[in-house]
Amino acid sequence: MRSVFVFNEENNLKVLVYITLKSSVLDPQGKAIEKTLADIGFTGVEEVRQGKYIELEISENNSEKAKSKAEEMCQKLLANTVIENYRIDIGS
Amino acid sequence: MRSVFVFNEENNLKVLVYITLKSSVLDPQGKAIEKTLADIGFTGVEEVRQGKYIELEISENNSEKAKSKAEEMCQKLLANTVIENYRIDIGS
C-alpha cells in the first residue's frame, strides 16, 4: 500500500485596492459627512473625502505579478482614471 | 518697531477609515465586480468585497486622541456597526 500526500498549498494573495477621487474633483459625499459630523458635535474635522476600498484574492503567489494584475483591473474596471486615483497593497 | 513672529504649526492629523461589510453579510457589489472581472478575462479572482474608505483631517496632534475621536465617529455616523466593521489608521 502506498500513501499519497497531497501538498495543499494556498496560492492566493490578498489584494487591497484603495480608490479615491482626485483632489481637483468635488466630493459631495465627503462634504455631506463633514457637515453631519459638525452637526452632531465633532468640531475640527476637515477635508473629508470618501473613496472605495476593494479586497480581493488572486490565485497567484508572486506579489509583483499580483500587483500588476490588480493594476490592470484598476485601469480596465475598478477605477475611473479620469477622476479617480488608485493605490494597491498586497496582503498575504 | 517690534516684529511679531507667528508660529504657524500645523496641528492636523490625517485619519484613514476603512469600512467593510462583516463576512457574514452578503456583498452584491463585490459579487458584481467578481463576475465582471471574470467576464473581461481576469481568471482566478475570488472573494471580492467592496467597502468604503474615508480620509479626514482632525485638528488634534495626539494620535491616540485622534484615534478615539475617529472611533466615536465610526460608532455614531460612519459605520453601520450591525453589518459593518471598521478599521482606523492614523497618518500624519
Distance from C-alpha of A49 to C-alpha of B54, rounded to nearest angstrom: 6
For residue A15, give the chain B residue with the closest CA. Answer: B48
Q: Which residue has the higher pLDDT, B92 or A75?
A: A75
Q: Within 10 Å of residue B64's Cβ, how many Cβ atoms?
A: 9
For residue A51, give the chain B residue with the closest CA. Answer: B53
- The full set of domains in chain A, from first to last, is 12-90 (3.30.1280.10)
Residue A6 has pLDDT above 60, yes or no: no
User: CB–CB of B36/A77 below 8 Å?
Assistant: yes
pLDDT band at A2 (very low <50, low <70, confident <90, very high): low
Give the tens place of pLDDT for each residue, B3-17. 444 443 568 999 999
Residue A1 has pLDDT above 80, yes or no: no
The answer to whether B36 contacts A12, with C-beta atoms less than 8 Å apart, is: no
Distance from CA of B7 to the nearest CA of A (A): 19
Three-state DSSP state, B64: helix
Residue B61 has pLDDT above 80, yes or no: yes
Give the tens place of pLDDT for each residue, B15-60. 999 999 999 999 999 999 999 999 999 999 999 999 999 999 999 9
The answer to whether B48 contacts A60, with C-beta atoms less than 8 Å apart, is: no
pLDDT band at A11 (very low <50, low <70, confident <90, very high): confident
DSSP of A8-76 = ----EEEEEEEEEE-TTS--HHHHHHHHHHHHTT--SEEEEEEEEEEEEEEE-S-HHHHHHHHHHHIII
Q: Does A59 touch chain B (CB under 8 A)?
A: yes
Q: Within 10 Å of residue A80's Cβ, how many Cβ atoms?
A: 13
Distance from CA of A32 to the nearest CA of B (A): 11
The answer to whether A52 contacts B54, with C-beta atoms less than 8 Å apart, is: no
Q: Give chain B's length.
A: 92
For residue B59, give the chain A residue with the closest CA. Answer: A44
The beta-carbon neighbor of A58 closest among B45, B50, B55 is B45
Give the tens place of pLDDT for each residue, A13-61. 999 999 999 999 999 999 999 999 999 999 999 999 999 999 999 999 8
pLDDT band at A7 (very low <50, low <70, confident <90, very high): very low
Distance from C-alpha of A74 to C-alpha of A59, rounded to nearest angstrom: 17
The answer to whether B58 contacts A78, with C-beta atoms less than 8 Å apart, is: no
Amino acid B6: pLDDT: 44
